Structure 1
Amino acid sequence: MEYIKAGRLIDGCGNVSENMILCIDEGKIKGILKAEQMAKEVEFIDYSDFTILPGLINAHIHAFSPCDMRAEEEQARTPLQKAYDGERFMHDLLYSGVTAARSLGSEGTSEQQLRDCINNGTVIGPDLVVCGRVITMSGGHGWSDGMQSDGVDECRKNTRILLREGADVIKIMATGGVMTKGVEPGSAQLTMEEMKVCVEEAHKAGKKTATHAQGNQGIRNALNAGIDSIEHGIYLDDEVIAQMLRQGTYLVPTLAAPKCIVDHGEGILPDYVMRKSKLVIDAHVESFKRAYAAGVKIAVGTDAGTPYNFHDKTAYELELMVKYGVAPMEAITFATHNSAECLGIEADHGTIEVGKFADLIVLEKNPLDDITALQNVNKVYKHGVLVLNR
């Protein structure tokens, strides 16, 4: 048994307490006590001057996508280079305080293989939930690495294939997007009927579903299909928000994605990427604000792997949320408890509670006073093992 003393403990459920002892054994939290309850002779790791909180969970990344390459450079990478990039990005996530993540789209079964390498200890990184390939219409958003599917029969069959290949979650493209040439973010793509069979097959297998959904009609189609999480949600209206509330659908806004492109891509990225990013950025922020004010369930994902949206910058998404009106404690809850629930891993992840993994980050500063404290992580524990020690 190992004992860790926290000067300040944020549990991921919206609670904060002081001078607490965490009892850790075999990678899990076995007890949580007030410091004065511990016998004086017991030795503990002393973080009396630090804040401890659950490891962050990034609900939307792309595990192999580099943020600083032109498209032709990215496509020219060899399989070995891609594998190296995937391992490097996993390090970036973990050492910035992310102890679990969901990767939502890469080629082939690369995500499943990376997940398995992390699970067997070959690669050091956060616990991964993966979709493998995405399901999109022919020529739709993400078609180059996705499973192009037209009609309900193809959508059903390809969902079954993805489940056979080891997908933890099924990702469906409901609309166009920014990064695919020749499609528009607001345009609906897969139909409600096509998405519904994907959702049915995933749910029969006990898996969750997520949808890339930016335009309003595509979001409606996805909700009517029974989707579990809306990724991006750029054009939300009151009717859509009300339906999300009724159905308990999660929103993963990925606020950082267009912001990083607009801030850093001018003169470097293709004109169509810049045009679409500038088109959506203001509506994106306003939709997030309305959804948050209405009480929609929100999880934190960055879309890491899109241009200049680096894998070690998950905390920047929380900074943006706070900038747009979210209280720091709520933002932390979104990135821990809520993200775990969104991914379906809440039994073991997301909060500091007895029985869950000892996935912890240690901060010198208090993120409740300044959310950017999360951008300077001092120590990271994954499954009770110290993996970063600054």
Structure 2
Amino acid sequence: MSLKIENVTLYTGKGEKLSQSALVIEGNKITAIGEEAAAKNAATVIDGRGKTILPGFFDMHIHLGMDGIADPFAQIATDSQATSAYRHQANAQKQLESGVTSVRNLGSKWHIDLAYRDAVNSGLLAGPTVYGSGQPIVMTGGHGYPLATEADGEDEIRKAARQTLKQGADVLKLMATGGVMTPGVDPGSPQLSEKEMRAAVEEALHAGKTTASHAQGTAGIQNAVRAGITTIEHGIFLDDETIELMIQYGTVLVPTLAAPYYIVKNADSGAIPPHAVKKAAYCYEVHGESFRKAVEAGVKIAAGTDAGTPFNLHGDFAKELELMHEGGMNVRDIIASATYSAASVLNVQNETGSLEKGKIADFIMLNEDPEENISAFRAVKAVYKGGELVHESLGKETNSAT
């Protein structure tokens, strides 16, 4: 069955914008775009006049086992494996409805994200495409230890990496520094060493997998970059030397600007653990400045929210894109960071991540053009995954940013 959507604005995900254009899909693949699509016939034709089509979004940093409640670690401590699995499905649906057709889950206790991924891939459940890390690898007592595998020294880290890869991880998540949510650790303090992380990176490379490092403090970020980590998560304290190092190594930044934003915004709720509020307030301004410097310097960026952290809800991907825009990124670069650039990080850019002939038909339709209104990312009219309509909104209003 073929479908043609015509008279639409298309952002390809690779920096191109096509006006009064068209898209044709057959089965789960894109078979034509642009002039070729306009000239093609199809069994079903939709007039998309006034609408904008983008590739399906990738949220490159989420936690499907966390709901965005004020104290997610308390939630993890009391959830059973079954409850956590149900939570993964519920949160994944919220992601899909917001236009996120692919997610990189960077930390689930019991490796449940990997089981959830397999359930989606087998057709047992409907959801976004999942690239999972399973349990992160941390030093003893390190950031995120309640949902992680603790290991110390190169040999233990190497074994933990191999065990996580054995479970089927698509990416290894490593903690290079302390963080906001874990009590008793400093976001600026290094944790896993450069040598320890390099051992895990080597194992990931041998298995054809990628790596991600929670890295907030300058020294820890540099350790991770030199170790060969694929992506730096958060990157709160970036100085000029660190930015230059990231450019030299081709390291990608996943900024997660929404994570501290929502903690600071809800600091007076009284529900977020005080240690997290204090640390987030300290990091918030410098995080924004670090992001602006990275953008200006040309650091590679992929969009990710850290959804699941306090008040950082699944389904609110648009907020991250709005914050990136406030931080100096133009709309086409933002779209690329959430589509083709993200797919490139995962080494799946030849199959997905952009609107091109022969690629998987994951795409979304917006009611407005984001170059005309940045809040257009909230006006999701329809979501297609593998050529199938998986969500459609009946409303035409753009939700206000929160």
Q: Normalising to structure 2: TM-score of the pair?
A: 0.94
Distance in structure 1 (CA, Å) of the matches to 2:255 and 2:392: 31
**AA matched with 1:311:** H
Q: Does 1:352 align with 2:355?
A: yes
Q: In the alignment, which residue of structure 2 is the partner of 1:45?
A: 46
Shift in CA distance, 6/123, structure 1 to aligned 2, threshold 3 Å: farther
Aligned to 2:150: 148
Instruction: Quickly say closer, same or farther: Cα 1:281–1:37, change in 2 above 3 A.
Output: closer
Q: Following the alignment from structure 2 to structure 1, what is the Cα–Cα distance between the partners of residues 42 and 287?
A: 55
Work out the CA distance in 2 between the residues paired with 1:100 and 1:144.
26
2:27 equivalent in structure 1 = 26
Match of 2:67 in 1: 66
Distance 1:98 1:40, change over 3 A: closer
| TM-aligned CA deviation for residue 338 of structure 1 | 1.2
**Cα distance in 1, alignment partners of residues 337 and 9 from structure 2:** 19
> Corresponding residue for 1:136?
138
1:154–1:39 CA distance, 2 compared to 1 (3 A): closer
- Give the Cα separation in 1 of the matches to 2:74 and 2:182: 13
Report if aligned partners of 2:142, 2:178 keep a CA contact under 8 Å in 1. Answer: yes
Match of 1:326 in 2: 329
Once the two structures are TM-superposed, the CA of residue 108 in structure 1 deviates from its matched residue by 1.2
Counterpart code for 1:162: T
Conserved? CA contact 2:23–2:38, under 8 Å: no
Deviation at 1:72, TM superposition (A): 3.2
Amino acid at match of 1:383: G
Q: Within 2, Cα distance between the matches of 1:48 and 1:24?
A: 18
Question: Is the contact between residue 70 and residue 272 of structure 2 (CA under 8 Å) also seen in structure 1?
Answer: no
1:87, 1:169 → 2: CA distance? 20
The equivalent residue for 1:271 is 274
- SS of 1:185's equivalent in the other structure is coil
Change (3 A) 1:139 1:367: same
- Structure 2 SS opposite 1:175: coil
Equivalent in the alignment of 1:14? 15
1:119-176 CA-partner distances (Å, limit 9, x unpaired): 1122221101000011100000011211111010000111000110000000110000
Q: Alpha-carbon deviation of 1:219?
A: 0.6
Whether the 8 Å contact between 2:257 and 2:320 is mirrored in structure 1 is: yes
Q: AA paired with 1:366?
A: D
Alignment-derived partner of residue 243 in structure 2: 241
- Residue 374, structure 1, aligned to residue 344, structure 2: no
Matching residue's letter, 1:262: V
Change (3 A) 1:137 1:83: same
1:169 is matched with which residue? 171
- Code of the residue aligned with 1:387 in structure 2: it is V
CA distance, structure 2, for counterparts of residue 159 and residue 41 of structure 1: 48
* Overall identity of the aligned pairs, in %: 43
SS at match of 1:152: helix
**Higher alpha-carbon deviation: 97-106 or 340-349:** 340-349
Distance 1:133 1:236 in 2: 26
1:83 is aligned, of 74, 82, 85, to 85
Residue 98 of structure 1: which of 97, 100, 104 is its match? 100
Contact 1:59 1:343 in 2 (8 A): no
Q: Quote the residue 2:113 is aligned against.
A: 111
Shift of 1:26: 2.2
Instruction: From the superposition, tell whether residues 108 and 77 of structure 1 become closer, same or farther in structure 2 (CA, over 3 Å).
Output: closer
Aligned residue-pair number: 390
C-alpha deviations, 1:12-37, integer Å up to 9, x for none? 11111123222212201112242785
Amino acid at match of 1:142: G
Q: 1:19 to 1:143 in 2, by over 3 A?
A: same
Deviation at 1:40, TM superposition (A): 7.0
* Contact map agreement 1:20 1:35 (CA 8 A) in 2: no
User: Which residue identity lines up with residue 192 of structure 2 in the other structure?
Assistant: L
Alpha-carbon contact 1:252-1:300 (below 8 Å) kept: yes
Query: Secondary structure in 2 aligned to 1:48?
Result: coil
Q: Which moved more, 1:27-36 or 1:365-374?
A: 27-36
Task: Give, in whole Å, the separation in 2 of the partners of 1:102 and 1:201.
Answer: 19
Matches of 1:110 and 1:42, distance apart in 2: 40
Q: Which amino acid aligns with 2:116?
A: L
Q: Which moved more, 1:28-37 or 1:187-196?
A: 28-37
Q: Deviations over 1:194-230 (max 9, x none)?
A: 0110000100110001100000110111111111110
Alpha-carbon RMSD: 1.5
Contact 1:6 1:52 (C-alpha < 8 Å) held by counterparts:
no
Question: Do the aligned partners of residues 42 and 73 (structure 1) sit closer, same or farther apart at CA in structure 2, a change above 3 Å counting?
Answer: closer
Name 1:125's counterpart in structure 2.
127
> Does the CA contact (< 8 Å) of 1:265 and 1:307 recur in 2?
no
Q: For structure 1, list consecutive stretches of 5 or more residues without a partner in the other structure.
A: none
**Equivalent position SS for 1:367:** coil
CA distance in 2, matches of 1:211, 1:325: 24
Q: 1:320: Cα distance to partner?
A: 0.5
- After superposing on structure 2, the runs of 4+ consecutive aligned residues of structure 1 that deviate more than 3 Å are 39-43, 69-74
Q: In structure 1, what is the Cα distance between the partners aligned to 2:288 and 2:146?
A: 29
